Amino acid sequence: MKNLPTPAAASIVAAAALLVGCQNASPPTDGSDTGSATPHGYVEGAEEASEPQLRLSVSDSESGAVRILDLLSEETVLEVPASANTSLAGADDRYLYLADQEAGTVTPVDTGVWTVDHGDHKHYYRAEPTALDAVTGADPAHIVSAGTGVALFFDGEGRAKLLDRGGLGDGKTEQLGTIRPGPHHGVAVPFEDHLISTVPGESSEDLPSSLAVYDEKGAASPVDEDCAEIHGAGVTREGPAFACAEGLMTFDEELSAELVPYPDEADGSRAWSVEVGRDLAAAPLDDHGIGLFDAKSGGWTYADTGAEVVAASVAGDDSAVVALDADGTAYSIDPESGEAEKKNLIDVPNAPAEGHGAGPDVVVDRERTYVSDPSSGAVLELDQADGLREARSFDVGGTPAALAVTGR
């Protein structure tokens, strides 16, 4: 048993430093000439395209290796070797974050495709994918990428390390700062130049039930409202959401916290993860069904499923939600009504998968959904707008599990 530790003296860097990193990876957002003959939108080392250059990343649950497929050519553009202790612990619209529990490392991988939105137009880029330098720490677990920062939580040392996401585009793994709430199975979220992190309870073995907001100097302000047994978090445009026993703990831009109870249909069930889009947060419930929380309106929509949801995903523009239950049935869910089209899809093992990211997974893009099938060694591409029609199948072999689509 131990008392709540004092935050470490190491601080998160000031807000200005956080914002500078973003500029390193992207061309000038106003398209202005920088004093040379550089064309508008030019990025050194990258090729500009006329449409999004999407890539599908597939993690093998037995070997830990990750394969990156180009969805236009269907070719493998990079294979990242790893150990069986490695999982695809996080991803955003460009980068993957591979956590090796035994080695105590998190390796960012630049998938080499991304989009720069200039408001009235967009630029689409393609470059060579590459694995970057690893960040070390004991027992890496939850990873959350939001805005210009990526928070890596290392359970064993009770430390969250903040990476400069913009620097990754220059091939640099730069740590902006660190906080140390204390050892426990925790999660930290970058938001509004702060880190919002779980803090341990009386025992590091227990799931945390408290949160604190850390400012740019590393000073912690406890969140008054408790959030029992926190596990899982995500960030919408409105702010972070943490999954708790009784509901979602949400934060607004003023860093005010509110515990939003799960929908009545949950009937005592809870979520252990939060999957987010733009304003929508999906909370798969541990009995059956899935709650869809509109962070803008603060309201819930509920979709029933025949069994516990084992994987779910929300399109980045909130246009689609797809879930997979323990019976192998996929559900294409209307985000507004909760009505769902369903399709028997794959065989899900009766025995629970060992470790994070070891079972079948779902990832939704605006136009297609991808479902991994560990039993067949394939990844299915589905058209969610056409009754989950199978559009393509990628025979990747092995035991495909965690997925990510990048390039938007």
Return per-residue pLDDT of the chain as tens, 408 residues. 333 333 333 333 333 333 333 333 344 333 334 445 667 777 888 999 999 999 999 999 999 999 999 999 999 999 999 999 999 999 999 999 999 999 999 999 999 999 999 888 999 999 999 999 999 999 999 999 999 999 999 999 999 999 999 999 999 999 999 999 999 999 999 998 999 999 999 999 999 999 999 999 999 999 999 899 999 999 999 999 999 999 999 999 999 999 999 999 999 999 999 999 999 999 999 988 999 999 999 999 999 998 999 999 999 999 999 999 999 999 999 999 999 999 999 877 654 545 456 789 999 999 999 999 999 999 999 999 999 999 999 999 999 999 999 999
Which pLDDT belongs to residue 212?
A: 98
The sign of the CA dihedral 365, 368, 374, 377 is negative
- DSSP 3-state of 17: helix
Identify the helix (H) or strand (E) that includes residue 23. Answer: helix 15-25
CA 224 – CA 59 distance, rounded (Å): 39
CA 113 – CA 53 distance, rounded (Å): 6
Which pLDDT belongs to residue 347?
A: 79
Which pLDDT belongs to residue 97?
A: 98
Neighbour-count burial of 44, counting CB atoms closer than 10 A to its CB (0-12 exposed, 13-18 middle, 19+ buried): exposed
Residue whose entry in the numeric block shows the structure tokens 């677990």: 141
CA dihedral 223, 18, 16, 182 (to 10 degrees): 40
Q: What are phi and psi of 167, to 5 degrees?
A: -65, -25
The answer for residues whose C-beta is within 8 angstroms of residue 405's C-beta and 6 or more apart is 54, 55, 56, 57, 71, 363, 365, 370
The answer for residues whose C-beta is within 8 angstroms of residue 35's C-beta and 6 or more apart is none
Which pLDDT belongs to residue 357?
A: 63
End-to-end alpha carbon distance in the chain: 46
Which pLDDT belongs to residue 118?
A: 87
CA-closest candidate to residue 194, choices 9, 7, 11: 11
Which pLDDT belongs to residue 7?
A: 35
Contact 69, 394 (CB under 8 A): yes
The side-by-side arrangement of strands in the sheet containing 309-314 is 309-314, 321-325, 329-333, 340-344
CA 309 – CA 339 distance, rounded (Å): 16
